[in-house]
Amino acid sequence: MTENDEKKISAFSQLIEYWKRAPVLSYTVLFIFLFEFLMIFAAPHVIPDSTYMSIYLSKYARENTIEYIQDKDDYNVRDTLIGWRNRPGCVYEKWRTDDKGARSTHDFDVIPKKENRIMFLGSSLINGGPFVYIDETVSALIEDSLTEAVNFGVMRYSLDQAYLYYSKRLHRYQADVIVVELCSMPCDGLKNQYIPF
């Protein structure tokens, strides 16, 4: 028997000795471990999501979540990469998006039509939100004969979502300049917050 084997046996025998000396503590630790294991691995398969939602969310948040899950949100669609994105072809009062979900003043494709293409990314501060027409957005105001702008701002987006959106999908639009909105606390959105407020 090697020295390592003796140490392993010694550690195991010490554990058994502790178990015998403090059975209440030992069974409490075992119960907590088993309870945590069940709650992490078994409960999500048995307990419906609505139960969790009713415990943790306010009524307003629950209603928004149900709309989001049922794909009934007026402005957004679910997205597995970035949580949500603008609903393509959405028309809702002043809010309009094209077939790509962008708030741009013109149709565009992968190849730019003008000498310079500027892409805007960020939250409703970039896309104007539902209270302004497309031609009133910051991206529309910079367009001229040499410059076209594409606006992929999405309401409530944070810096990490803008980065993922661009790096995985939007880079193909070959923007010469990328304007990314930074709010006063740009790291706030990086805290893995619950998505459908």
Please name the residues in contact with 60: beta carbons below 8 A apart, sequence gap of 6 or more. none
pLDDT band with cut points at 50, 70 and 90 for residue 197: very low
Q: Count of CB atoms within 10 A of residue 160's CB?
A: 16
The reported pTM is 0.68
Reply yes or no on whether the pLDDT at 114 is more than 90.
yes
175-186 pLDDT tens trace: 999 999 987 766
Q: How far apart are the C-alpha atoms of 52 and 69, rounded to whole Å?
A: 14
